[in-house]
Chains A and B, each alone.
Chain A
Amino acid sequence: MKVTRIAECVWEVPPTEKTGMRVPARLYASDALLAQLDRGVFEQVTNVACLPGIVRAALCMPDGHWGYGFPIGGVAAFRADTGVISPGGIGFDINCGMRLLRSNLTEAEVRPRLRQLIDALFAAVPAGVGARGFVHLTAAEFRRVMVEGAGWCLTRGYGWPEDLDRIEGGGCLPGAAPDAVSERAVSRGTDQLGTLGSGNHYLEVQVVAPGGLHDPRAGTVLGVEGPGQVLLMLHCGSRGFGHQIGTDYLRLFDQVMRRYGISVPDRELACAPFRSPEGQAYFGAMTAAANAAFANRQVITHRVREAFGAVFGRDPRELGLTVVYDVCHNTAKVERHAVDGQLLELVVHRKGATRAFGPGAPDLPEAYRELGQPVIIGGSMETGSALLVGTSAAMAETFGSTAHGAGRTMSRGEAKRRTRGETLLKDMEARGILVRAASSSGVAEEAGFAYKDLASVVEVLDRLGLSRRVASLVPIGGIKG
């Protein structure tokens, strides 16, 4: 496949390379990262470029890797009036996302109680296959969660009022349609609120790395003060509720799209016109799941605060455990962006990609409007994560989007052949990272060597101006499913 460099760290596959491509495919990567991209990425990003109503280009972020349908790290925008919505462009884990909490604690204060803290978090936040949350929802309450998102949690005392301002969309996206959600999805997710999931989901205790505060001014705005400060990073999504909605609508669209005369190069890209009844139903159900995911991360935040309070014998407010930000990385959102000089209403699909709105964006909290939207990028459980902010360049180039993680470089099976979970956990503990996991084989799958070097990914984002570095964070402990 012909891939041409069009600018530093920007590569393009022209529409002539594959029958059906309506726009180019554009990949953001250094030479080294491009060489690491698996063959699935090129196939998938050029498939996305074939979808009806797509504008400008099908994009792939520097952490791109083989997904299903869209590549993970994929971004595509479709005209709301004539384009499509595709569940494969959002993923089954609707609103899988990241939340970052800051604290007043230092590593020196936490280290003596780290084991106790990790044990408390493991007990407070159920993780792994079959985990059950402590919140029991009636059907009526679940409908409220779908519509109110994180706001519902506050009515039950699971959070602080100021939390909502620090969540993308205020923790509640408009347009949720509980009537478009199946009973199956409700029954699947009804007692999973407050659970972590498994795989690459985690709750991690981190510290700002030595020399890791790259932008002290931005750090001050975000409550990130300097090396040794303890933060909490949470990565999880909508759980079985969202997974079932994705399943229901993928199954429906696979059959329905023929009625609209749509054919797709990969069945996982099954789609429907956004303005069709089916497209609108999915958007309403997807939004309900996105709001449930915000609620999930909010309930977990509440449990985290309780655990910290119990371990350190202090009120969580005294510990300064506030939300820095909460971002989605699997959604479709209706946004206005300029395309060829025209302001268009677009359905922006981000599949393993994070919104990165720049300074002045109206959706940002007032405290962050001058700075830009915080971007939270998770690396591996061994190597660390990154805090950045969105930029005007991202708004112009990538529909206000950036990467979401480090990206896998090897299969889960290969990772398990190279190490055993128990061995890795002991090795990490010897290096000062204490992890408790519901699944030992799951730990092996998430070994650091299975992921790209996050610093390389962040460097590309910084070089392109898609996101601006604020802080580098390293793990000292965590829990996994």
Chain B
Amino acid sequence: MDGLAGGCPRAVCPGNEVGHYTFLEDVALADCAIELEGRDLDDLFETAAAALAALMVEPATVSQTVERTLTVTAPELDLLLYDWLSELIYRKDRDREVFTRVQARVTGAGPFQVRAEARGGPIDPARTLLGADPKAVTLHQFAVVRVNGGWRARVVIDV
């Protein structure tokens, strides 16, 4: 993938010292481009969830009062990531919940499935520091690739 170097410091997922995400400064100025890295697919999907949560809120201001089991299935791996992030955005609007700690398990070889134990809490105007409000995952520059030492993905989120 081109343009892997971003202008922002790389962030490490809370509770996960392996996955990294970087917000890319020079891609899609009006939206949010994110580069994700994971040691394996589980890690990549957990990192994606963490990056999305960090985009939406200050994670430390979300109570840990909700636990959900989320399952998403897709015919291809990249579509699985697309549907996974779309599911989290959907739940943000439908249920007003944000998940800041996620343990994911990705299985399959086509179709693929991610099953995750997601912890977080409601968006509480009195307590939650709000960030951007993601509308959707775009397919612009969307990619999931295997690299030496793990997996890398690029996602542009419409905010």
Residues in chain A within 8 A of chain B (CB atoms): 38, 40, 65-69, 72, 88, 91-93, 128-130, 132, 184, 187-189, 192, 197-200, 239-240, 243-244, 246-247, 250-251, 254, 266-268, 270, 408-414, 438-442, 445, 481
Contact = CB atoms under 8 A, between A and B. Distances in A.
Interface string B1-39: 000000110000000000000010111111110000000
A129 B142 contact: no
A69 B132 contact: no
B90 A130 contact: no
A92 B139 contact: no
Contact of A66 (B29, B90, B122): B29
B90 A188 contact: yes
Given A38-B29, A40-B28, A129-B123, A68 B90 contact: no
Contacts of A198: 130, 132-133, 159
Nearest to B157: A68
Nearest to B131: A441
Contacts of A38: 29
Given A247-B86, A408-B30, A254 B133 contact: no
A427 to B, nearest CB: 21
A409 B136 CA distance: 22
A442 B93 contact: no
Given A243-B135, A246-B136, A408-B30, A251 B130 contact: no
The 6 closest A-B pairs by CB, nearest first: A130-B123, A68-B140, A267-B139, A240-B93, A68-B138, A198-B133
Given A69-B138, A92-B135, A246-B136, A413 B23 contact: yes
A188 B139 contact: no
B139 to A, nearest CB: 4
Given A92-B158, A409-B29, A411-B25, A128 B130 contact: yes
A311 to B, nearest CB: 22
Nearest to B136: A92
Nearest to B56: A129
A129 B55 CA distance: 11
Contact of A268 (B23, B140, B159): B140
Nearest to A240: B93
Size category of the binding interface on chain B = 35 or more
Given A129-B57, A247-B86, A412-B159, A67 B28 contact: yes
Interface in B123-159: 123, 125, 128-133, 135-140, 142, 156, 158-159
B140 A129 contact: no
Given A68-B156, A93-B158, A129-B56, A411 B26 contact: yes
A407 B47 CA distance: 31
Contacts of A93: 135, 158
A40 B132 contact: no
B101 interface: no
Given A128-B130, A411-B26, 16 more contacts: A67-B28, A88-B140, A91-B158, A92-B135, A93-B135, A129-B123, A129-B133, A189-B93, A198-B159, A250-B136, A251-B83, A408-B30, A412-B29, A412-B159, A413-B8, A413-B25
Contacts of A254: 79, 139
A200 B128 CA distance: 20
A128 B8 CA distance: 24
Contacts of B138: 68-69, 88, 92, 250, 268
A243 B136 contact: yes
A91 to B, nearest CB: 7
Interface of B: 7-8, 23, 25-32, 56-57, 79, 82-83, 86, 89-90, 92-94, 96, 122-123, 125, 128-133, 135-140, 142, 156, 158-159
Contacts of B79: 251, 254
A445 B135 contact: no
Contacts of A251: 79, 82-83, 86
A36 to B, nearest CB: 11
Contact of A410 (B23, B29, B139): B29
A268 B139 contact: yes
8 contacts: A65-B29, A66-B29, A192-B93, A244-B136, A246-B135, A408-B29, A439-B130, A442-B131
A300 B82 CA distance: 33
B97 to A, nearest CB: 9
A40 B27 contact: yes
Contact of B130 (A72, A91, A408, A442): A442
Nearest to A264: B139
Contacts of A88: 138-140
Interface centre among B7, B26, B128, by most chain A C-beta atoms within 10 angstroms, is B26
B93 A412 contact: no
Contacts of A129: 56-57, 92, 123, 128, 130-133
A243 B79 CA distance: 18
Nearest to A243: B135
Contacts of B25: 411, 413-414
A239 B139 CA distance: 20
A65 B131 contact: no
Contacts of B128: 129-130
Contacts of A414: 7, 25
A412 B94 contact: no
A182 to B, nearest CB: 10
A410 B29 CA distance: 6
Contacts of A239: 93
Contacts of A410: 29
